[in-house]
Amino acid sequence: MVDLSTRELQEIEEANLSERQPVVFVHGLWLLASSWDPWRDLFDQRGYTTIAPGWPDDPPTVAVARQNPEVFAHKTVQQVTDRYLAAIEILDRQPLVVGHSFGGLIAQKIAGTGAAKATSAIVPAPFRGVLPLPRTALKSAFPVLGNPANRKRAVALTYEQFNYGWTGQLPEDEARRLYDTFHVATSGIPLFEAATANINPFTGAKVDTKNPQRGPLQIVAGEKDRTVPWAISNASYKRQIRNPAPTEIIEMKDRGHSLILDHGWKEVADTVLEFFNRHG
């Protein structure tokens, strides 16, 4: 049984009372649900209602998370997916789903169950069947994958590691602001699950791309993303395009892995909104 917090249950209740189309936001590694706050404000202004559940045991704020980083350990991809599915089950209407990075992988897993009306996966982490392993992606993941003991740990990035994988395309002052504002530790397990997905048939990093109830799917890539380069996003698209539902991919020029957080976030949000307006 999945326990949802008072905040999460209240958001779901408010979404149901609003009678608007709900949108579920799924955050990825090294972030909290609050990272979606500007997006939620924008979607609310455009006539949607939104919820942003956290991962299991997520602290309420970045400040609290930095005081207790160990709470992030031992969270698997399937555990997190089940938590979002439990929240979706309480919604009165089938939601639109947006996910970033590992949240983009989880959003695709949700879509694969038929629980999403339409889905946008932004620079999504790879799943079983996605084969490319670009050098920059391996370097971005090395702070976790470089030590097998990290599988059982919560792992934080240094600013230099965060800047390489997330914000290398940004001015120094903005990159440091994003690190100071948003970065928290994360569970090491999901990265190991994704890294071994193609040799482990029981991996949690597995997506049902064939379900005809998947619904329309958009993949958003970042041209300068080192963590999830175009090769990974495009390989995910090539797996998903076999589904009978509409599948689209778009590359955001000059954008890195921080594209949902940095000064250009609204351009990405508008791209997702345009997709939902056509298919949601």
Q: How far is CA 159 from CA 44, 153, 207, 257, in A?
A: 33, 19, 32, 14
- Domains belonging to the chain, first-starting first, are 6-279 (3.40.50.1820)
Tell me the pTM: 0.97
When pLDDT is cut at 50, 70 and 90, the band that residue 280 belongs to is: confident
pLDDT tens readout for residues 115-151:
999 999 999 999 999 999 999 999 999 999 999 999 9
Question: Distance (Å, rounded) from C-alpha 134 to C-alpha 151?
Answer: 22
Mean per-residue pLDDT for 143-160?
98
3-state secondary structure of 182: helix
Write down the pLDDT at residue 40: 98
pLDDT tens readout for residues 72-103:
999 999 999 999 999 999 999 999 999 999 99
Write down the pLDDT at residue 129: 98
Question: Distance (Å, rounded) from C-alpha 22 to C-alpha 18?
Answer: 9
Query: Which residues are CB-contacts of 67 (< 8 A; sequence separation ≥ 6)?
Result: none
Mean per-residue pLDDT for 103-115?
98
Write down the pLDDT at residue 226: 98
pLDDT tens readout for residues 190-245:
999 999 999 999 999 999 999 999 999 999 999 999 999 999 999 999 999 999 99
Query: Which residues are CB-contacts of 225 (< 8 A; sequence separation ≥ 6)?
Result: 123, 233, 255, 256, 257, 259
Mean per-residue pLDDT for 13-30?
98
Residue 167 DSSP one-character state: I
Would the CA dihedral through 233, 82, 245, 15 be positive or negative? negative
Write down the pLDDT at residue 34: 98
Assess contact for 209 and 240: CB atoms under 8 A: yes
Query: Which residues are CB-contacts of 101 (< 8 A; sequence separation ≥ 6)?
Result: 28, 29, 122, 123, 124, 125, 227, 228, 257
Write down the pLDDT at residue 180: 98
Q: Amino acid letter at 121?
A: A
* Residue 279: its H or E element: helix 265-279
Write down the pLDDT at residue 1: 67
User: Using CB atoms within 10 A of its CB, is residue 44 exposed (0-12), middle (13-18) or buried (19+)?
Assistant: middle
